[in-house]
C-alpha cells in the first residue's frame, strides 16, 4: 500500500497546535520587549529632565455681591415644657387610698376644675396655684393657702367673698360647696355626730338665754328699792314701839310682862326697817347675771363651732394646685383598683418647647424674643421664639428655651421628641453687599484696612500686577466680611482679591 508524504505546511500546523500555550507566552514576551524599547526612547529620567518647577501663582478669591447673615447654630430637643410628678396627698385617709375612677388618658389635658383622679370615691380637683395643699381648709382658718383658694375660685367665676382676705369665712365655705357642685360631687361629709352636736348647742344656747333673763329680773327687783312711804311707815313703827316701851318702863309699879312684849314689838319693827335697807344691796344679783351672760357666750361659741362643722370644707387630698394650666398628661402610673402610693402621673405644659444650649460667646449675641428657624421632619421650614436664656452651672454654657410658632396636631406629633437643628439669625446686612474672605484683609502702614486686587492673570505669580484698595468692614459671618471701598476705591463683584501667595 502506498502512503502520501506529509507536506511541510501541515507539519508546522501540528507543531503550533501541540504547543499553543508556549507560543502565546512567547508572543507576549516579544510584545513587552518592543514596548519597553519604545518607552525608553521617548521618556527621560528625572535626573535628565529639567528639575525647575513653574513659578507659583497668586491665590485669589472673587469678590461676591449678595446678602450676608450671621447665625448662631445649635441643636435642641423638642418636648413639652416643665414636666412634674403629681402625687395627691392621701395622708388624711383612714383606710387604703384605692383609686376608684377618673384616671386620665395619656395626652389628655388637665385644666381648671378638671378631675385629676378619683380616690375612694372622692375627687382630686385641679385648681390654678403654686402653693401645694397641706391642710384642710375650713371655717375659721386663715393663711396664704386660703388666699390662693379664693383667687382660684374667682378665676372659675365663683364668689368666695373678699378674695384678698386670708380668712376662710362662711362665704368661702359656700363657694367651696359651689365648686363641688360644679364638678358633680357632693361636698365632704361633716364629722360624725355633727348634727347631734348642733342640736345640743342650740338647746344650750336657749337655756343660757333663759338663765340670763331670770338673773336680769332678779337684779331689777333688787335694784328697784322700797318706796319712800314704806320707809316712813317703818320708821314710824320703830318710833312708836320705842316710845311705848319707854312709857312702860317708867310706870310704877313696872309691869314686867308688858315691858317684855313691848321690847319684842320694837325688835320686830327694827327688823322690818333693816330689811328695807338690805334690799338696796344688789351685788349678789349682779354676780349671778354676769355668770349667766358668760354661760350664754360659751353656748354661742359652741353653736358657731357646731354650725362650722356642717359647712363645706376643702381637704388637702381633694385639691391639686398646678401652674400654667392647662397641663398635658405625659404618663399615668396608676389604674382603677390600685392603691395610690406616691406618684400618680406625670404632667407637663401643654405647649411644645425646644431645649437647647449655646456657648458663652454665642449667648452674648442672643436675647429673649429673638426668632430661630428649623425644619420639621417633612422638610417644612418653621420658626420658634427664644422664651428663656439662662446660664447653666457650667458657666461656659447657656441654656436656651424656645417656643415654636403654632403647629398643627400632626406637626406637633411629628416633631415631639426630635432633636432638631436650630439657626438663630443674629445679624444681617440691609440688602446685597460686597463681601470677601476675612483672609483677604490686610493692614496698611497707617492702620487702614485694605484688600489686594489682582490686575493681571494670577498665574503669573510675583510678576502679576496688583492694586491695593482701602475698605471699611461691616458684618462678618462664617469667615466672610462685608467691605465698602473707601473714597474712590475701585472694587466690584468678580474682582479677584489675593488671599495667599
| CA gap 67, 85 in Å, rounded | 49
Helices (H), 117-227: 144-155, 170-183, 194-224
Q: Is the model's pLDDT at 410 over the cut of 70?
A: yes
Question: Residue 1: its pLDDT value, please?
Answer: 37
**β-pair partners for 423:** 73, 373
Question: Residue 382: its pLDDT value, please?
Answer: 96
Neighbours of 71 (CB within 10 A): 18
In terms of C-beta distances under 8 Å and separation of at least 24 residues, what long-range contacts does 386-389 make, across chains too?
A: 386/424, 387/353, 389/363
Q: What is the pLDDT of residues 308-328, one digit of tens each?
A: 788 899 999 999 999 989 999
Q: Give kind and range of the element (H or E) at residue 258.
A: helix 256-278
| CA gap 373, 398 in Å, rounded | 19
* Structure-block grid coordinates of residue 391: 446660664
pTM check: above 0.85: no
The pLDDT confidence band at residue 226, using thresholds 50, 70 and 90, is low
**β-pair partners for 354:** 78, 402
Residue 147 burial (10 A CB sphere; 0-12, 13-18, 19+): buried
| Range of lowest pLDDT (12-16, 344-348, 393-397, 474-478) | 12-16
Question: Residue 225: its pLDDT value, please?
Answer: 62
Q: What is the mean pLDDT of the chain?
A: 85
Q: What is the pLDDT of residues 258-312, one digit of tens each?
A: 888 888 888 998 888 887 766 556 788 889 999 999 999 999 999 988 887 888 9
Q: Is the model's pLDDT at 146 over the cut of 70?
A: yes
User: What are the two backbone dihedrals, phi and then psi, of residue 132, each rounded to the nearest 5 degrees?
Assistant: -70, 150
What percentage of the chain reaches a pLDDT higher than 70? Answer: 87
349-428 falls under which CATH superfamily?
Answer: Efflux pump adaptor protein, beta barrel domain (2.40.30.170)
Q: Is the model's pLDDT at 411 over the cut of 80?
A: yes
Question: What average pLDDT does this structure show over 429-440?
Answer: 93
The pLDDT confidence band at residue 250, using thresholds 50, 70 and 90, is confident
Question: Residue 253: its pLDDT value, please?
Answer: 85
Helix (H, G, I), strand (E, B) or coil at 252: coil
Q: Are strands 433-437 and 480-485 parallel, antiparallel or unpaired?
A: antiparallel
Is pLDDT larger for residue 11 or for residue 217? 217
Q: What is the 3-state secondary structure (H, E, C) of 14-56?
A: HHHHHCHHHHHHHHHHHHHHHHHHHHHHHCCCCCCCCCCCCCC
Is pLDDT larger for residue 306 or for residue 499? 499
Q: Is the model's pLDDT at 429 over the cut of 80?
A: yes
Question: Residue 489: its pLDDT value, please?
Answer: 80
Can you count the helices (H) and strands (E) in the chain?
10, 22
Round the CA-based radius of gyration of the chain to a whole number and report it. 56
Helix (H, G, I), strand (E, B) or coil at 437: strand
Question: Residue 21: its pLDDT value, please?
Answer: 44
Indicate the domain borders of the chain. 349-428, 433-500
- Residue found by looking up cell 438663630 in the block: 424
The CATH number of 433-500 is 2.40.420.20
DSSP, residue by residue, 339-380: BP-S--EEEEESSEEEEEEEEHHHHTT--TT-EEEEE-TTS-
Q: Is the model's pLDDT at 230 over the cut of 90?
A: no
Question: Residue 279: its pLDDT value, please?
Answer: 57
Cβ atoms 367, 389 nearer than 8 A:
yes
Amino acid at each position: 500500500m502506498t502512503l502520501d508524504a506529509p507536506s511541510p505546511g501541515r507539519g508546522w500546523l501540528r507543531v503550533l497546535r501541540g504547543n499553543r500555550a508556549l507560543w502565546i507566552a512567547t508572543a507576549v514576551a516579544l510584545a513587552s520587549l518592543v514596548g519597553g524599547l519604545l518607552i525608553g526612547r521617548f521618556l527621560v529620567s528625572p535626573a535628565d529632565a529639567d528639575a525647575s518647577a513653574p513659578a507659583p501663582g497668586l491665590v485669589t478669591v472673587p469678590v461676591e455681591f449678595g446678602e450676608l447673615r450671621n447665625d448662631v447654630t445649635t441643636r435642641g430637643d423638642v418636648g413639652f415644657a416643665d414636666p412634674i410628678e403629681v402625687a395627691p396627698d392621701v395622708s388624711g385617709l383612714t383606710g387604703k387610698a384605692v383609686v376608684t375612677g377618673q384616671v386620665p388618658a395619656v395626652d389628655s389635658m388637665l385644666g381648671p376644675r378638671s378631675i385629676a383622679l378619683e380616690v375612694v370615691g372622692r375627687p382630686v380637683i385641679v385648681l390654678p396655684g403654686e402653693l401645694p395643699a397641706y391642710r384642710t381648709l375650713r371655717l375659721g382658718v386663715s393663711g396664704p393657702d386660703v388666699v390662693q383658694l379664693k383667687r382660684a375660685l374667682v378665676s372659675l367665676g365663683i364668689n368666695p367673698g373678699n378674695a384678698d382676705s386670708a380668712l376662710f369665712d362662711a362665704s368661702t365655705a359656700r363657694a367651696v360647696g359651689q365648686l363641688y357642685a360644679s364638678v358633680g360631687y357632693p361636698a365632704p361629709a361633716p364629722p360624725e355626730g355633727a348634727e347631734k352636736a348642733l342640736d345640743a348647742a342650740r338647746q344650750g344656747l336657749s337655756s343660757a338665754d333663759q338663765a340670763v333673763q331670770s338673773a336680769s329680773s332678779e337684779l331689777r327687783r333688787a335694784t328697784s328699792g322700797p318706796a319712800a312711804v314704806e320707809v316712813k311707815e317703818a320708821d314710824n313703827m320703830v318710833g312708836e314701839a320705842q316710845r311705848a316701851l319707854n312709857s312702860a318702863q317708867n310706870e310704877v309699879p313696872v309691869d314686867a310682862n308688858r315691858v317684855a312684849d313691848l321690847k319684842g314689838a320694837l325688835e320686830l319693827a327694827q327688823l322690818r326697817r333693816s330689811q328695807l335697807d338690805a334690799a338696796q344691796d344688789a351685788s349678789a344679783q349682779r354676780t349671778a347675771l354676769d355668770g349667766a351672760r358668760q354661760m350664754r357666750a360659751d353656748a354661742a361659741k359652741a353653736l358657731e363651732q357646731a354650725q362650722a362643722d356642717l359647712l363645706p370644707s376643702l381637704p388637702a387630698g381633694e385639691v391639686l394646685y398646678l401652674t400654667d394650666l392647662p397641663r398635658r398628661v405625659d404618663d399615668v402610673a396608676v389604674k382603677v383598683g390600685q392603691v395610690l402610693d406616691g406618684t400618680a402621673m406625670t404632667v407637663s405644659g401643654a405647649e411644645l418647647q425646644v431645649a437647647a444650649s449655646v456657648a458663652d460667646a454665642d449667648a452674648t449675641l442672643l436675647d429673649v424674643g429673638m426668632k430661630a428657624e428649623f425644619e420639621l421632619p417633612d422638610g417644612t421650614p418653621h420658626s420658634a421664639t427664644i422664651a428663656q436664656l439662662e446660664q447653666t452651672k457650667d458657666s461656659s454654657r447657656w441654656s436656651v428655651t424656645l417656643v415654636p410658632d403654632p403647629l398643627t396636631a400632626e406637626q406637633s406629633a411629628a416633631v415631639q421628641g426630635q432633636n432638631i437643628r436650630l439657626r438663630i439669625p443674629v445679624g444681617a446686612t440691609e440688602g446685597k453687599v460686597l463681601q470677601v474672605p476675612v483672609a483677604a484683609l490686610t493692614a496698611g502702614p497707617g492702620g487702614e484696612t485694605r484688600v489686594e486686587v489682582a490686575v493681571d492673570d494670577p498665574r503669573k505669580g510675583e510678576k502679576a500686577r496688583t492694586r491695593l484698595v482701602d475698605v471699611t468692614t461691616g458684618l462678618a459671618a462664617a469667615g466672610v466680611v462685608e467691605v465698602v471701598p473707601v473714597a474712590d476705591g475701585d472694587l466690584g463683584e468678580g474682582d479677584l482679591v489675593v488671599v495667599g501667595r
